[in-house]
Amino acid sequence: MSYKRDTCSKCGEKSILKGEIGLRTSKDKELIMIVRQDHGVEKSVPLQPNICSQCGFVDLYVQNPNHLKINSEDRPINPDFKQRPLLESDF
């Protein structure tokens, strides 16, 4: 199934609000991030919303999920982290 960002995934209308819309915490105005931790590596990417102007449904997505992939150049956030070595199947 192909995902269309201009179509609501709940009601099917092409009524997604346009413009820069983001999610932030109300306390510190920081972006809400998706964080992946694996092999001691931490990767994060901002969470983005789609909002339907017809039914009000909010759908969440990440702009580029490739940023969450761990690669061989990534280093653990804790230099003393010990776990099994990275394998090609982890990517």
User: Average of pLDDT values for 41-59?
Assistant: 93
Q: Which amino acid is at 8?
A: C
Say what the pLDDT of residue 1 is: 38
User: Average of pLDDT values for 20-40?
Assistant: 87
Alpha-carbon torsion (58, 63, 69, 73), positive or negative: negative
Q: Mapping DSSP to helix (H, G, I), strand (E, B) and coil, where does residue 52 land?
A: strand
Q: Is residue 10's pLDDT more than 90?
A: yes
- pTM of this prediction exceeds 0.75: no
Say what the pLDDT of residue 29 is: 87
Residue-range domain boundaries for the chain: 1-66
End-to-end alpha-carbon separation of the chain, Å? 24
